[in-house]
Chain A
Amino acid sequence: MTRRLAIAELLASALCLWAAWYHTPAGALLRSVGARIFAVRTSAQPLLAYYSAGVYGGRIAAAPALAGPVPPAQALGYGVQAALADLDAGERTQLGLSSAQPPQIASQLRALAVRLGSEEAAVLALFCGEEPARYARDHADSDSLEDLARQLPPRYADRIALASQALMLGGAYALSWPLPESVHITSPFGVRDHPVLGGRKPHNGVDLGVPIGTLVRASGAGIVRRASSDSQNGRILVLDHGRGVVTVYCHNDELLVRDGQRVDKGQPISRSGNSGRSTGPHLHYQLDLAGQPVDPLRYRATKPKVALGAED
């Protein structure tokens, strides 16, 4: 009896160590240190990627150039294709997606979503297989990828990261433009000479030159994560669209929604203005993917014209 108990304790200890080794930042820290000491490769993710079940960790896959406008129904297909760009040909073949184009991927996803009940589970099935996705769906509390990912063992971590990239990029492709397409960009994304502070500084969004009072629309459905005011960003709105996609609207004259409110795609959310640190009426529109600002024009086939002599 005592011997059996000792074996049970040994097994239980081994399971706890296995879980801690692969499933906690402390374990990842030890794995990274061990790998450095013994000069070997480690599969440990960056420490911060251990939150949200490893979803939205690491770098953002490069978005391939678009040949034409993205139909909203195919946005997820484009997201999957963009996420696959990071894989080599062998891995793409293994997934059965070596030569698939966004329309075919989108139709495959629709069929999977019908069988599994959600887009998140469908994308998970595409990268991890249908059985793991079905298992995750049956055991998760919600359809969010974070919840689904928590149900799967550590060996799926890499595939889950790909699925999260696909969902996130699909979300970015599905966004609309907050102002009419005819509005010119007065300051593009990237490093520029700062018009107020001087010196070369990164510009994390695009500035769209519009008169004060122009109606600004939500570029996607989401929740207002922040509706506040300060003398730098002016009246600022932050919309969380889920799947790691966040859009930011600064220098507004008036906010039409409040903190925590759910908004629909295309819903008026503010009137543009010249509030905060600004040298003229404009809307600063920013797209954050997994917490990193990216050029919103990367995910659009039709791009507004850039005005000459632009400044913030």
Chain B
Amino acid sequence: MRWIFLPLGLCALVAVGAHAAADVVGAQVLWLVDRADAFFDAIFSRWSFTAPLVDLVGLAERTVFARGVALVWELCADFFIALPMLGYDERPVDEELALFRALSRESGKRPSLRLVRPLAALATGIAGARSVARMVQGSVQLALHFSALAQLVAAAVLLSLLVLFVPRAALRSLEHADGLKRPGVVAAVVLAPLVAAAVAAFLR
């Protein structure tokens, strides 16, 4: 059964982390959309033939548009880093460590944009672990009304995910990035801000 639940668990962990990261920057995305909307409205409204474009993202649509941007960003991140987790193939620990060292050494020799993927997988994995632990803590606390137990369970979950899952997510992403023919400029553009957002989500 491990061949199915480990890849699924890794994929889910990264997806939870990507959502935590996308959610934390909601206000900033809205701010950016507002700035961009004001900028383009000022330009498009100068000429009668471009004036209808001002209403394309009107005042009423900007919140939906900003949330849509966050959603598309998150789904792209899921595509670039969470889906490849389904290809995780478990090996003995010493083999995984050796593979990790070899891939890290290789990437260190010729650093490229493809390194953004494992970095993002690592950051979202950590943010996801924090998010899952927080949900578990809330559920245990509000079901059993026992604060110390809830904290203990959450700490155990966080530690388990950080030790058992996050390194595997980084390794799988490194392995996947190494197998790519192109460095992936689009993926790097999508994932680089996600790394910062995931760090913010973890620290929140």
Cα separation A8 to B161 with both chains bound (whole Å): 10
Is there contact, CB below 8 Å, between B141 and A135? yes
Cα separation A153 to B132 with both chains bound (whole Å): 10
- Interface code B14-37, partner A: CB below 8 Å = 1, 0 otherwise? 011011001100100001001001
Contact of B138 among A14, A52, A153 (CB under 8 A): A153
Is there contact, CB below 8 Å, between A288 and B135? no
Is there contact, CB below 8 Å, between B165 and A16? yes
Contact of A25 among B13, B58, B61, B74 (CB under 8 A): B74
Contacts of A13 in B (CB 8 A): 5-6, 8-9, 12
Contacts of A141 in B (CB 8 A): 204
Cα separation A141 to B24 with both chains bound (whole Å): 12
Is there contact, CB below 8 Å, between A231 and B46? yes
Is there contact, CB below 8 Å, between B132 and A19? yes
- Interface code A1-28, partner B: CB below 8 Å = 1, 0 otherwise? 0000110111111111111110111110
Is there contact, CB below 8 Å, between B60 and A204? yes
Contact of B54 among A10, A27, A135, A232 (CB under 8 A): A232
B2 contacts the other chain (CB 8 A): yes
- Interface code A122-140, partner B: CB below 8 Å = 1, 0 otherwise? 0000000001100100010
Is there contact, CB below 8 Å, between B60 and A153? no
Contacts of B106 in A (CB 8 A): none
A299 contacts the other chain (CB 8 A): no
B101 contacts the other chain (CB 8 A): no
Which chain B residue lies CB-closest to A138?
Answer: B147
- Interface code B125-167, partner A: CB below 8 Å = 1, 0 otherwise? 0001001101110110110010000000000010011001100
Contacts of A25 in B (CB 8 A): 19, 71, 74-75
Q: Which of B54, B62, B68, B142 has the most CB of A within 10 A?
A: B142
Is there contact, CB below 8 Å, between A291 and B64? yes
Cα separation A290 to B63 with both chains bound (whole Å): 8
Cα separation A5 to B93 with both chains bound (whole Å): 12
Cα separation A292 to B65 with both chains bound (whole Å): 12
Is there contact, CB below 8 Å, between A48 and B71? yes
Contacts of B8 in A (CB 8 A): 13, 17
Contact of A24 among B16, B141, B142 (CB under 8 A): B16
Contacts of B13 in A (CB 8 A): 16, 20
A154 contacts the other chain (CB 8 A): yes
Is there contact, CB below 8 Å, between B26 and A51? yes
Is there contact, CB below 8 Å, between A23 and B135? yes
Is there contact, CB below 8 Å, between A27 and B15? yes
Cα separation A141 to B136 with both chains bound (whole Å): 18
Shortest C-beta distance, A79 to chain B (Å), equals 19
Is there contact, CB below 8 Å, between A153 and B22? no
Is there contact, CB below 8 Å, between A15 and B60? no
Contacts of B5 in A (CB 8 A): 9-10, 13-14
B176 contacts the other chain (CB 8 A): no
- Residue numbers of A with Cβ under 8 A of B are 5-6, 8-21, 23-27, 47-48, 50-53, 131-132, 135, 139, 141, 150-155, 204, 225-226, 228-233, 238, 248, 276, 286, 288, 290-293
Please, could you name 17 A-B residue pairs with CB atoms under 8 Å apart, sorted by A? Answer: A8-B164, A9-B6, A10-B5, A12-B161, A12-B164, A13-B9, A16-B132, A23-B135, A26-B78, A47-B71, A48-B67, A204-B60, A230-B42, A230-B44, A231-B46, A248-B59, A291-B60
